[in-house]
Structure 1
Amino acid sequence: MEGRLMRDKPDAVTLLRLARAALLEDLLPMVPQEGRYAARLIANAMAVAAREMAAGVDPAHAELRALATLFGEEVTAPDLAQAPETVEETLARLNWRLAAEIRSGGRDADPQVYAALWDETLARARVAEPRAVPSSGEGTKKRKKEKPGA
């Protein structure tokens, strides 16, 4: 493999998925009834962790772009190339700012805020439980047409 780094196979996401499948298919049938809830909880946590790992930095970058847009700030490629901890600090700052504006009533009639919050809710739900969320864009279009508080 010239010009490419060798990677360990299987990768972490695949290992999590394989371990989850073994837990559910091989071990769960042997677990006594009183332990099955905990085993399923562990399997679900493994699935969420695998989806988060597979998504990488994309969700954080999308949230950063959405929040920056709400405040009229520009997000540049160097902003997105920062260490994940720095991106998380910026996200925390912008989220605190938005929360303060929402608490003060300063964003009550802002449809961009409703759209951004709905999009973020859908993005998080897709990681936590993808089957519970409509395919990309469906929920956003429907939600944007509704009035706040509807």
Structure 2
Amino acid sequence: MHIEEIMKIIPHRYPFLLVDKIVELHPGEKAVGVKNVTVNEPFFAGHFPGNPVMPGVLMIEAVAQVGAIALLSDERYKGKLAFLAGVDKFRFKQRIVPGDVLFITAELITVKGSIGKAKGSISLNGKPVCGGEFLFALS
């Protein structure tokens, strides 16, 4: 799934769209996305000058966006919005810098009514960068 299809599913746009393509999709269950991190990312200007590092909160947001794509590509949830409602057990093991190609995985655990739980992670060169669980609310 390329960027045009992603933008039909989630409302995020530059500079806050943090997934470039989806390479694996099981609607309502799981998705794997790719993010090509470039030196032109707006957050690098201030985080940190001379030592650019992707902020942890944006790593969580990238995982949540891939989770939203997994959820909202399911016919039952098409046209809805998914809001990040909570973050649990997220741990960071490695820095993300310009030039990195991230593989972002999100897998839905439960959806009950308008609330759900998912787990997700980011890997770089086959090694874990971060991971944890998150809650979302559908609207």
TM-score, normalised on structure 1? 0.28
Bigger helix share: 1
Bigger strand share: 2
Larger radius of gyration: 1
